[in-house]
Structure 1
Amino acid sequence: MDIQFVRIDDRLIHGQVATVWVKKFNIERILVVAEEVTKNPVRKVMLEQAAPPGVYVNVITPAKLIDIYFDPLFFSSKVMLLFTNPQEVVCAVKKGVVFPSVNIGGMSFSQGKKMLTNAVAVNEEDIRSFEYLTTKGIELEVRKVFSDSKLQLMDLISKKKLF
């Protein structure tokens, strides 16, 4: 599998993903890797329909990602992986999925989370997941849109001292 771009964005496929990121990386297939979303047929269909023309979308579980990652059928596809949270990214990495960086585009605020940027809220579990990914040599950069400057996530976390 030719993973061109990995993003955490709990909005998943929306304007920026469909119009900018997909074109920038010449994406042929978007894999939405989100256990929760696979259980919601309406959301799943909406995501499949939100893709730009010519781009295939599959909504899959982290376990299914592992199955297809090692399948020769997918070796030549230029893929974007979209996750809703860092825990599912960690799951993929622990099972052998390899990529050099993760773009953190949007993680909504909810109870127990603290705002890191205007688009990214984290809790202690998120931070532990990001720390794990860092130990694996994966770059963690925050950019909501492509034209934003890259911010290093771990630098932001250490400066804010959230927890």
Structure 2
Amino acid sequence: MADEFEGMPGIVAIRIDDRLIHGQVVAYWSNSLKLTRIMVANDQVAADDMRKSVLRMAAPAGIKTSIIPVERAAKQILEGKYAGQRVFLIVNKPADIIRLMDLGLPIKTINIGNMGGKDDTKPIKKYVNVTDEQEQQFRDLLAKGVEITTQLVPQDPVTHLTDYLK
């Protein structure tokens, strides 16, 4: 597992979850991964003080949070700012993973948690609903060799997105 996040000091997991910091992250992932920091990389949330405050309140006691724009997240990770920490990087859409990669992060594997259903989405797996554009973005990530797993909580079996894309 160590080389999965090589070139990204401190990163122990990368997840797409439209809820960002929430109960499953707090109750299950933070303990399972022995996190010291949860990083949300999202331009809109980083610019919204109210949403940042709510997400910080949701984080477990003793675990630091970084709620920052995508570009700043990539820069700080590449600079080694989080070396020696155990950081869970969370974004809310595949476009942000693509941006992080375009900014130089050598992402090899990501996990999808929840992507809730909306009017313009279709389900590809329980809890994973995508727009046509997001489905194409996932296909592009897969074509670049990124392993994409789907797992709500660590206790669930790991499945692969390729099993659900037609």
The TM-score with structure 1 as length reference comes to 0.90
The alignment status of 1:137 with 2:145, answered yes or no, reads yes
Query: What do the CA deviations read for 1:82-135 (whole angstroms, capped 9, x no partner)?
Result: 010000011101211123311111111112210112211011211121122212
1:106 match: secondary structure: coil
Q: CA RMSD in A?
A: 1.3
For 2:104, the aligned partner's letter is G
Cα distance in 2 for partners of 1:44, 1:152 equals: 31
Match of 2:84 in 1: 76
Give the 5 Å matches for 1:21-100: 21-100=29-108
Match of 1:18 in 2: 26
Q: Which range moves more in the overlay, 63-72 or 86-95?
A: 63-72
Structure 2: gaps spanning 5 or more residues: 1-8
2:89 match: secondary structure: strand
State the Cα distance separating 1:54 from its structure 2 match.
1.4
Cα distance in 2 for partners of 1:18, 1:12 equals: 10
The alignment status of 1:120 with 2:128, answered yes or no, reads yes
Residues 39 and 87 in structure 2, CA contact (< 8 A), matched pair in contact too: yes
For 1:46, the aligned partner's letter is V
Residues 3 and 99 in structure 1, CA contact (< 8 A), matched pair in contact too: no
For 2:32, the aligned partner's letter is K
For 1:137, the aligned partner's letter is G
Name the count of aligned residue pairs: 158
Structure 1: gaps spanning 5 or more residues: 159-163
The alignment status of 1:4 with 2:9, answered yes or no, reads no
